[in-house]
Amino acid sequence: MSEITLPQRLTLLLDESPLNGIQRWLWVLSTGGTLLDGFAIFVFGVAMPLIIAEFHFQSDVVGLIAASLMFGAVFGAGLGGVMSDRLGRKPLMLIDMIIVCAGAAASALAKGPTMLFIGQLLVGVGIGIDFPVSSSYVSEVLPKRNRARLMVATIACQALGMLLAAAITLVLLKTVDSMQNWQLFLASEGVIAFLFFLLRLSAPDSPNWLMARGRFAQAARAFIRIMPEQREAVLQLTSNIGNQSLASSIARARTSGISILFSRAYRARTVLVAIPWFLMDIATYGVGLFTPIILGAIDVSGKRGGVIADDFADARGSSAIDSFLLFGFLLGIWAVPRFGRIRMQVIGFAGMTCGMILLLVAVHLSNSSLHIPLVFTGFIMFNLLMNAGPNSTTFTLAPILFPTQLRATASGFAAGVAKIGATFGVFLLPILKGTFGVPAVLGMMAAVGLLGLIVTLVFGREDTG
């Protein structure tokens, strides 16, 4: 049996330690990107009817601007993962919030489609960077027994972001009777990002990443900051650092790179972490971003009263529906560690498909008393099981399936592929709606859910390591 190395000893010390207040706070700081992701989706969805009314954009322009948020996330996720594995987790966790602030400011001050596109593109870049960085950071600073639940809780903050956005937009729509409300909506993204930037300044970098780069002295200091109660044990372990351990760690660090994801050893895992996430994001972002517009098109209230009044009604309906996103994540926090990632992913995709089918039925029963109950049941089933299943599992798979040297790269690749799906969804949906109507949108979402179910069943594997 091979001798346990220093990095392994320190990792075991972290894995087996009890969860403390410092680690809980570091988890809170890591949720900035996922919270802003949900916040940006909801805010832009509510802002969109006001933007369309002011600038009179056509459906293709609306789709392009909406897609810019997702396209930026594609670039950000791919870049953020690779750069995080090379430069560290903390620098990227600060840079991404600065980028979101810049994008939010540009969006709020936009006078036309070009600046809106650029602003939302930057917001997407910042959020995209944060996805692989935060998932890797959480997996590297928390004890093993708490890791799975808190990683699901990290992506659950996407729903909290939506609910926070719902509260802010509803207050503004009710108290500020202005068509320029959309500027306040988009500016609020920057306020939240700046707050996270300030709070993250005091966070340590990932000790596991520091060890993987051979920087044991810095890793020891990071371990002590994260686990002050283990100070003596850490100092004792790091008092005699062997050259052999150092050399082997540096050698392992140099083997990282995106090409390794497609080697025989990791190819199946790469498919598993990327393709279902791609399919899920087509539905997640498409439906999430256009929920207010879909509700308006289905006409669940039967009362219309001007652009602002209509936007308020649709925002209120969206917030009620999106509350089930949080319930779904809470269910996922309990169910994913208990029943396994793959099983919950399968259940979730099946529920998403059934939810869209119910909405299709509701559209064809527009004059029936069952119309409104079926609309809300379909949306609720979609949101609840999506977040209890694939929206919880896809975010957590890559950090579990890949080693430290590849963790952020793999997470970034998977998130980047997912955001390509999101870009595809948000760009195509308004065009589909404008050309073929809401039933075509719902049918596409049902097909995507079914395909996600099939891919997960074919490539799925459970890995508790």
Q: Domains in the chain, start-ordered, CATH in brackets?
A: 8-459 (1.20.1250.20)
Amino acid identity of 96?
A: D
For residues 136 and 398, give the distance between their C-alpha atoms in angstroms, rounded to a whole number: 9
Report pLDDT for 276.
Answer: 94
CB of 393 within 8 A of CB of 344? Answer: yes
CA distances from 122 to 99, 117, 429 (A): 6, 9, 22
CA angle 10, 77, 184 (to 5 degrees): 115
Classified as helix, coil or strand, 56 is coil
Report pLDDT for 249.
Answer: 44
The pTM assigned to this predicted structure is: 0.78
For residues 384 and 35, give the distance between their C-alpha atoms in angstroms, rounded to a whole number: 18
- With tokens 């929920």, the residue in question is 291
Report pLDDT for 427.
Answer: 73
DSSP 3-state percent helix, strand, coil across the chain (nearest 5): 85, 0, 15
Residues 291, 292, 298, 302, CA torsion sign: positive
- Per-residue tens of pLDDT for the chain, all 465 residues: 455 666 677 778 888 888 999 999 999 999 999 999 989 988 887 888 788 878 877 767 877 887 788 889 888 988 888 898 888 899 999 999 999 999 999 999 988 888 999 999 999 999 999 999 998 899 889 998 888 888 888 988 888 898 898 888 888 887 766 667 788 889 999 999 999 999 999 999 998 888 878 788 888 888 889 988 888 887 777 775 544 444 444 444 444 567 888 888 888 889 999 999 999 888 876 675 555 555 554 454 444 444 444 444 444 555 555 566 678 878 888 888 888 889 999 999 999 999 989 988 887 787 777 777 888 788 888 888 988 899 889 888 888 888 877 888 888 899 889 888 887 877 777 777 778 877 888 888 899 999 999 989 988 864 444
Report pLDDT for 318.
Answer: 53
For residues 460 and 346, give the distance between their C-alpha atoms in angstroms, rounded to a whole number: 9
For residues 18 and 59, give the distance between their C-alpha atoms in angstroms, rounded to a whole number: 53
Q: Torsion over CA of 431, 436, 438 and 440, rounded to 10 degrees?
A: -100
For residues 460 and 464, give the distance between their C-alpha atoms in angstroms, rounded to a whole number: 13
For residues 183 and 166, give the distance between their C-alpha atoms in angstroms, rounded to a whole number: 15
Report pLDDT for 296.
Answer: 54
* φ and ψ of 157, to 5 deg: -70, -10
